[in-house]
Structure 1
Amino acid sequence: MPKTTLYIVRHGQTEWNVEKRMQGHKDSPLTELGEWQARWLSEALAPIKFDEIYSSSSGRAVKTAEIISGKPKDQIKVTDQLKEMHLGVWEGEIQATIRENDQKRFSSFWNDPEQFEANGGESFIDVQKRVLPELQRIIANHTGKNILIVTHTVIIKILMAYFEERPLSKLWDPPYIHPACLCKVELEEGKHRICLHGDISHYKHEAVGLY
């Protein structure tokens, strides 16, 4: 069986990331730094020919996928199945406000994800049921290909936990999923190998004026 390689990327920094707002299914544009983060990754991945490009349907992910791949949206497979976790009434709210007004649920989100119950949104188990079948479909349909997947923090945590066989209770263990970070997973002969997890070696820290 030929080797399949997944390049799983979080979108670049957004305006709401800077404001520390929960985004979920809502959206905000990439910042200037967010676009640079995607460009830096595009440069690092320039030698790779992507056979398939998938993106969450959220604008911040699609824009990141366009920058990384150099392809227009109509050449990217855009899917709702890769959207961020639906956070219900939290979406658009500042994290500090949520922590103050919904302490028990906020603590559960970060410290006890197995038991988290969203107010009008998804649980982490709901996200697993949505995302993991999509992952399996992508792998099955593109065996032996280089596949770029641009998505979101919780989705990446769920995907990488699947490959690591990490329990949901440890979902938030390191590494941190930075904007435009890269995870690389190779699949061959029924086995998989995690080559990169949350990698940001493509960041150009000399661009101090953008931070």
Structure 2
Amino acid sequence: MKTTTVYLTRHGQTEWNVQNRMQGHRDSALTPLGVQQAEWLNRGLQQEPLDMIYSSSSPRALRTAEIVRGERSIPLIACDEFIEIGMGLWEGRDSAEIEAGDPEQHHHFWKDPEKFSVEGSETFAGVQKRALEKLQDIVTAHDGQRILIVTHTVVIKVLMAYFEERAMEKLWDLPYIYPTCLCRIDFTDGQAEILLHGDTSHYVNSVEDELFD
């Protein structure tokens, strides 16, 4: 019986993370610390015989994936299905400014995600559907292989919630999804087993002040 291993990781810290700005489909560059975090994961996965890397098509995720791959000749494929939740008119704006200007939707985003809806945004359920369908296709296509997916906070949260059978209202409960933290799900005979969730043991030192994606 073959086991397919899927690793999920978030991109490294970005400039907008430091500025506490919402990113969503928009992008900002990795900070020097973000590059370092990707390098830590590169070293942490050196002994892992990865067969394929999939990445969100967002530049911050692709750059992280390239650093994690390093000198290894592992195929890397960009996927729109793994991009961050679209936040519409929130994108690029300061989180505190959003909370002051739209406290109801800010509350929904963090406390009741099923009710989140602003102009131009996606729903959490929609993100879960697109990302889960792509993940299931990948597991089917790579039976018995080891796959890394580089993506974003909300994508990881909704995927892990699905496999945990976690209610959407509990989505933001711990563990926190730090930059380049690692989740691992093993799929055997159609059954999913979570082995890692938000692991940062590859960090060279403890840097846990990064802000939301």
TM exceeding 0.5: yes
Counterpart contact for 2:27–2:59, Cα < 8 Å: yes
CA distance in 2, matches of 1:50, 1:205: 25
- Residue in 2 that maps onto 1:26: 26
| Aligned-partner SS, 1:172 | coil
- Residue in 1 that maps onto 2:11: 11
CA distance in 2, matches of 1:41, 1:88: 31
Counterpart contact for 1:176–1:198, Cα < 8 Å: yes
CA offset digits 1:133-175 (Å, max 9, x no partner): 1111111111111000000000000111111111111111110
Letter matched to residue 181 of structure 2:
C
Q: How many residues align?
A: 207
- Residue in 1 that maps onto 2:133: 133
- Residue in 2 that maps onto 1:55: 55
- Residue in 1 that maps onto 2:211: none
Counterpart contact for 2:51–2:75, Cα < 8 Å: no
Of stretches 133-142 and 151-160 in structure 1, the one that deviates more from structure 2 is 133-142
CA distance in 1, matches of 2:130, 2:2: 27
CA offset digits 1:92-121 (Å, max 9, x no partner): 001000000011000110000111113211
Counterpart contact for 1:4–1:186, Cα < 8 Å: yes
CA distance in 2, matches of 1:79, 1:44: 24
| Aligned-partner SS, 2:122 | coil
Unaligned runs of 5+ in 2: 208-213
Cα offset, 1:51, TM superposition: 0.7
| Map 1:57-96 → 2, pairs under 5 A | 57-70=57-70, 75-96=75-96
Cα offset, 1:206, TM superposition: 7.5
| Map 1:53-202 → 2, pairs under 5 A | 53-70=53-70, 75-202=75-202
Unaligned runs of 5+ in 1: none
Counterpart contact for 2:6–2:148, Cα < 8 Å: yes
| Aligned-partner SS, 1:136 | helix
Structure 1 residues 73 and 88, CA gap change in structure 2 (3 angstroms)? farther
Identity %: 53
Runs of 4+ in 1 over 4 A off after TM superposition: 71-74
Structure 1 residues 57 and 102, CA gap change in structure 2 (3 angstroms)? same
- The two structures, once aligned, show a CA RMSD in angstroms of 1.7
